[in-house]
Structure 1
């Protein structure tokens, strides 16, 4: 057997899981979380760095929104190849490479970030930071293959939540740097992250595993593109994860422009939303395991719509406490929804497989096909969903340019959450859309 390659893997076999699988999967999960956490921190580092770009740099608020939009876009695009890289190179091998790659944007930031640097140069450097956004797709695809169906909601929620909290951590560290060293020393952040990136790559090298049972399957990708559920879940994930990452990138600038907060004041509040949204994501997965992902997702969008209403009212009344409360509702909702939507993806395709098995199809073949398709769909949905972060930053940029306020953008978000609310009900909860004969199978699978 090749070193660090596991040839036999049966997570659905309870005896195998108890004797071998759980220990191996748990080890890989925690190391994956660490590497993904750093990926998110590097990806969203520009949400902090723009707060350091004072008058000496000469950039307008619209310029700074471009600097946060760029890595969001690149990270979203990279999620597609990162998804399939796991099967092509192995989860361990790709984690080593993708973690090591995070050093590059850190070095580039250290070289160019000085007063007098051009906007175009910073946009290129910000684009390179997008490599951190790709890590999420490969990490989630990898962990999806390690866990049995009954535990995927919790495992994927924990993996994603641990990664997502990297957004809050880099923003909290940015706050500490501004508070102690001042806005003139953004490069201190790099001295913190470069050693951690090296440590993550080394830990993956020594302790992670590749699953030989996971093969690069272009047929699964093509099949995933033909599934209507792929596109439905992509829309819902734009609403959940797209919101989380979009608000994470934009929140500091929104506070700066809407309430004219100084960099230190903005940084003081910026990290709170991503922190609560990240920590609650595993709870969304756990709730989906217990009561069904579609039900949790349905009520998540209702809560996020309510959050938008709070933000709009607060913006009109110029009430900072109410504005902050509205955004916290949005972050909490997006975090819960992230966990529940990701649980829905493998559950949907397992439910479809169970339905065919009940009609006489081969059980092993159907379940294997379901795992293949769900892995491909996870990557595609994560990429499309991340584009929501791009749209949110573009919407805020245009809203502030046109009206001097972010209210117009939030009105658009409210309309989109209403759409997602209706889609979830129409496709996954409405009795006419889900026949009674298949409802029990869907419920058992956690849809």
Structure 2
């Protein structure tokens, strides 16, 4: 048996014996710290907006730009993964992020335009998704893809670190100092990554630019991208926006808003490996159907919440569902596109980032135009129901064709 990208693996071997755990650890650490700084403008948003006098729409754009930049850069990283290997691609991305944060700290950020520029640089951190998952996933056979991708993808727990630490550090030292302090753990992880990460024996065949995007000729690629735009888009959009929501809606301090956000984000991060493992066991389609229903109900219920406790409960439920959905989508991707896992990881990740950009920015615009966040939540809940209908439409064809050919459960 070969792994999803052609590397050797023992038939039906145990998970821990079938791959390379140091690389899996390196992928997780890289992904974790990258996600921490990717969303760091969210927890810092109350302090930044107070300093710069930002409107609700500007606050929404401020936290959404890193998400959009990360989405677009994931395509580039997906290509780099196949051209120069995931380890070197990850090293380049980490250097760019560390250098950008150090420059912003050293020179200061003094305008809305400057914050947006920093957001673009932080997009390189968000694009780590297209590197970390292939770095780890290429070591594992199809029967363990869901677990491997889920464990590496659990690095989105870095958003918890940002929500917990950034507001308190900003209160103690100022929000600009947080940008410099973030460089310290990033540099440590970079050294660890360079020492223990190792590219899988599989070497991608060089492709022309047109061949990189060949998967887009398949409707399956677009469906998978759409589903991830809802699951991951909902997760990262909420992770970036909740500090603003809690401070504006319930008048919490930035530190308390960070704690509330951390609790919600931790729930979604913790269950991502569960989503992959559950999809391995019962099929990604079944899991995703439940995910879309639960997420839609929870998000639509947020505007009706009577107080902070009720809103927190609904956000946790939504994040749990979306986190499981993230793992489930990436159980499906390598089953259908095993030969193009690098570029498909980038394309699907890009779609997820675009979904996050939409949610984060729409909540800001909804607040400015209507005085309420409710329209943003209602529309995204509707998108989850549309995704459910689309999944029910394609599931029969998927099970009859590519799933049957691969002999895997979806």
Q: TM-score, normalised by structure 2?
A: 0.91
Which of the residues 172, 175, 181 maps onto 2:164?
172
Which of the residues 189, 194, 198 maps onto 1:200?
189
Kindly indicate whether the alpha-carbon contact (under 8 Å) linking 1:220 and 1:372 is maintained by their aligned counterparts in 2: no
Q: Tell me which residue corresponds to 1:352.
A: none
Superposition deviation, residue 446 in structure 1 = 2.7
Residues 220 and 211 of structure 1: CA distance in aligned 2, closer, same or farther (over 3 Å): farther
Superposition deviation, residue 434 in structure 1 = 5.5
Q: Tell me which residue corresponds to 2:344.
A: 377
Q: Are residues 1:99 and 2:94 paired? A: yes
My pick for the range that moved more, 211-220 or 170-179, is: 211-220
Which of the residues 63, 74, 96 maps onto 1:68?
63
Residues 259 and 203 of structure 1: CA distance in aligned 2, closer, same or farther (over 3 Å): same
Superposition deviation, residue 220 in structure 1 = 4.9
Cα shift readout 1:335-391 (whole Å, capped 9, x = no counterpart): 0000001101112x2xxxxxxxxxxxxxxxxxxxx5213433222111112100110
Q: Tell me which residue corresponds to 2:404.
A: 441
Distance in 2, Cα, partners of 1:297 & 1:235: 12
Which of the residues 168, 188, 207 maps onto 1:217?
207
Residues 342 and 23 of structure 1: CA distance in aligned 2, closer, same or farther (over 3 Å): closer
Distance in 1, Cα, partners of 2:170 & 2:342: 41
Q: For 1:129, what is the secondary structure of its paired residue?
A: helix
Which of the residues 407, 411, 419 maps onto 2:378?
411
Distance in 2, Cα, partners of 1:9 & 1:375: 12
Distance in 2, Cα, partners of 1:426 & 1:279: 30
| Displaced runs of 4 or more, over 6 A | none
Q: Which runs of 5+ in 2 are unaligned?
A: none
Cα shift readout 1:272-292 (whole Å, capped 9, x = no counterpart): 111110011000001001000
Q: Are residues 1:327 and 2:320 paired? A: no
What is the root-mean-square deviation in Å for CA atoms of aligned residues? Answer: 2.5
Q: Tell me which residue corresponds to 1:425.
A: 392
Distance in 1, Cα, partners of 2:361 & 2:96: 27
- The 5 A counterparts of 1:251-262 are 251-262=242-253
Superposition deviation, residue 438 in structure 1 = 5.2
Residues 282 and 261 of structure 1: CA distance in aligned 2, closer, same or farther (over 3 Å): same
Distance in 1, Cα, partners of 2:341 & 2:216: 11
Q: Which runs of 5+ in 1 are unaligned?
A: 1-7, 350-369
Residues 293 and 443 of structure 1: CA distance in aligned 2, closer, same or farther (over 3 Å): farther
Q: Are residues 1:247 and 2:238 paired? A: yes
Distance in 2, Cα, partners of 1:344 & 1:53: 40
Kindly indicate whether the alpha-carbon contact (under 8 Å) linking 1:173 and 1:189 is maintained by their aligned counterparts in 2: no
Kindly indicate whether the alpha-carbon contact (under 8 Å) linking 1:33 and 1:160 is maintained by their aligned counterparts in 2: yes
Which of the residues 133, 157, 174 maps onto 1:140?
133
Superposition deviation, residue 226 in structure 1 = 0.8
Q: Tell me which residue corresponds to 1:355.
A: none
Q: TM-score, normalised by structure 1?
A: 0.84
Q: Tell me which residue corresponds to 1:14.
A: 11
Q: Tell me which residue corresponds to 1:108.
A: 103
Distance in 2, Cα, partners of 1:36 & 1:446: 28
Q: Are residues 1:396 and 2:363 paired? A: yes
Work out the number of aligned pairs and report it.
404
Cα shift readout 1:116-164 (whole Å, capped 9, x = no counterpart): x221122112221111011111111222211100000011011011x10
Superposition deviation, residue 309 in structure 1 = 2.8
Superposition deviation, residue 186 in structure 1 = 2.1
Distance in 1, Cα, partners of 2:402 & 2:201: 35
Kindly indicate whether the alpha-carbon contact (under 8 Å) linking 1:237 and 1:341 is maintained by their aligned counterparts in 2: yes
My pick for the range that moved more, 417-426 or 282-291, is: 417-426
Q: For 1:445, what is the secondary structure of its paired residue?
A: coil
Q: Tell me which residue corresponds to 1:35.
A: 30
Q: Are residues 1:299 and 2:290 paired? A: yes
Residues 178 and 111 of structure 1: CA distance in aligned 2, closer, same or farther (over 3 Å): closer
Superposition deviation, residue 418 in structure 1 = 0.6
Residues 375 and 120 of structure 1: CA distance in aligned 2, closer, same or farther (over 3 Å): closer
Residues 61 and 398 of structure 1: CA distance in aligned 2, closer, same or farther (over 3 Å): closer
Residues 174 and 232 of structure 1: CA distance in aligned 2, closer, same or farther (over 3 Å): same
Superposition deviation, residue 251 in structure 1 = 0.8
Distance in 2, Cα, partners of 1:313 & 1:340: 29
Q: Tell me which residue corresponds to 1:387.
A: 354
Q: For 1:53, what is the secondary structure of its paired residue?
A: helix
Higher relative contact order (CA 8 A, sep 6+): 2
Distance in 1, Cα, partners of 2:403 & 2:270: 31
